[in-house]
Structure 1
């Protein structure tokens, strides 16, 4: 992470972060300056930050954890130049390349999602946006999945027009994922084939169509701490329902290969900051958690309330049983939709 000064090496005044949590729980949002103080805090403050963040998390979600299952329904072949992505046109990473999978494969994956206790099945394609063949495939398979399994459907199909969003809503898609990925200021450094504004417009099309918005980002792409805070506030202002926070896996063959990784402590402070900024929203520890948080993964669930179970798009996650054991050891429990928990 790019920073102007080294992180402090002393404790913040006692009660600093607990007071912020009380402020949030009283309905008074924290400021950008307060949010920045969380991600800039000393590592010595991490236990206090997580404890304060847990008060907020527990207020809205108790000890529930919602699981998501990710299906890479179309791999590689993407014309965009997102520098973090192994499937982009500028990537030399050896990833599988195939067009959208056939019905039987997508149904089989939905069965795995259900078996693993996932509430949401995430259908993802690599593309600037879906072509007509891909739209029809999604429109055909979604009703079948929902009829057979008790799964919510989240579609991640790239940039969407207003008409495409309406079609997804009509076929039964519950939520669309389209990450902002970084701050508006930093975005041009990680992608040049579309803009930050393009992504925001897709989210507005999703909202106008009556679907929930899932949008988060990737931390550790060379951005500043202020960039992470800016992204968090943009997501809060858009009122997205679900925020996945990825930690960059700097895959060999991508333009961000060799990018310095975040420490587990920095990643956890950033994750906690999202909880303070968006207190009642689903917060998911997404890609890179196994690589960067390592043995500290359980600590992330004191502020986050959601996980992907299984693999990611082109990288492996840890074994599902390890996730179940982690959740159980924390005294937490796998639950259904967030609406069932917080409603």
Structure 2
């Protein structure tokens, strides 16, 4: 198949057929670099060589009643992780200051659990209000399944975006978790949209899904019209149900990211958790399809040092995108 011609068609509004998606995934391995190069045509059309920087803080660790098989914070996990209840407002604000220092445009406030308690929600809202008053950052919340009116409360407090990953396809979901449904996840994303926040939802690759499941995931994200799409690659953690899963090959990871760009051409696509373990030395190449990364550590696993990420972007000849909000707030003095 002529991948570059297909990319040009995508730029003209064409949507890949199911068979074309399947052909993309099943193509000979020697096609991967050509696919990535074609994906770059789409990426560059919408985002140039800009890279969006995101940084997260794990404000509550472990103590989760859900049984997600990939997760070290799961109720069924025996992983040796730190467990702690909700951080204070000041601790969250200090994390945001660090993110701003490193040039991140978006700061993600994450907490384990099925959904936020009233205390947890109040803490996040108070932190968000202070951050918005003092720092040039977009804010993303990731607090689990939202109850009625919680999305509106977060929006009013200054949360710009809310992340709730679908993680896998609807067909494969029951193999991953049984304490909530795929529709529970979709429902929260819909509440986020109704509240006027930007929806963020992504996937985890490497949990045993098929080609068909991968295509289904991307179709679901397209239907949800998620603005930001983190692509995580499973980091198999000792003590979890998926501890024995082998890392993916870097070239397969590149193909997945390239397909995501073809199927979701206008969206912010972020290479997220597990990229260091699975992409390894080929991490920079993923940015020819993706246009966003997380800086620093993830929830319970370590990431690449932020300074190395910034150097990686510079070595590519790419540039860190300054968020529109950040540009308008450059005159603000950040006080500590």
TM superposition score normalised by structure 2: 0.95
Distance 1:339 1:196, change over 3 A: farther
Number of residues paired by the alignment? 327
Tell me, in whole angstroms, the C-alpha distance in 2 between the residues paired with 1:161 and 1:175.
16
- CA-CA distance at 1:29 after TM superposition: 1.1
Question: For each residue in 1:244-286, what CA deviation from the matched residue of structure 2 results, as whole angstroms up to 9, or x when unmatched?
Answer: 0000001010001111321111111011111001100000000
Runs of 4+ in 1 over 4 A off after TM superposition: 338-341
Query: Does 1:283 pair with 2:289?
Result: no
1:51 corresponding residue in structure 2: 37
Residue 172 of structure 1, aligned match among 139, 158, 164: 158
C-alpha distance in 2, partners of 1:245/1:129? 22
Superposed CA deviations along residues 114-167 of structure 1, whole A, max 9, x for unmatched, are 011100000000010001111111111101011111000000000012311111
SS at match of 1:72: strand
Q: Determine whether 1:238 maps to 2:211.
A: no
**Residues 339 and 109 from structure 1, CA distance in 2 versus in 1: closer, same or farther, beyond 3 angstroms?**
closer
Query: For residues 246 and 215 of structure 1, what CA distance do their matches in structure 2 show?
Result: 11
* 1:1-343 correspondence to structure 2 within 5 Å: 13=1, 16-337=2-323
**Which residue is equivalent to 2:332?**
none
Residue 293 of structure 1 aligns to a residue whose secondary structure is: helix
8 Å CA contact 1:218–1:248 kept in 2: the answer is yes
Contact 1:127 1:157 in 2 (8 A): yes
SS of the aligned residue for 1:162 comes to coil
- CA displacement, residues 26-75 of structure 1 (integer Å, 9 cap, x when unaligned): 11111122122222222100110011000000000000001000100000
CA contact (8 A) 1:92 1:253 kept: yes
Specify whether residues 215 and 39 from structure 1 end up closer, same or farther in structure 2 by C-alpha distance, changes over 3 A only. Answer: same
Gaps of 5+ in 2: 328-336
Whole-angstrom distance in 2 between the partners of 1:146 and 1:296: 36
Distance in 1, matches of 2:57 and 2:247, equals 26
Quick one: distance in 2 between partners of 1:167 and 1:181? 25
| TM superposition score normalised by structure 1 | 0.93
Deviation string for 1:59-116 (max 9, x for gaps)?
0000000100010000000000000000010000011111110122111111110011
Structure 1: gaps (5+ residues): 1-12
CA contact (8 A) 2:115 2:146 kept: yes
| RMSD, matched Cα | 1.3
* 1:339–1:300 CA distance, 2 compared to 1 (3 A): farther
Sort the Cα spacing of 1:214 and 1:116 in 2 relative to 1 into closer, same or farther, 3 A.
Answer: same
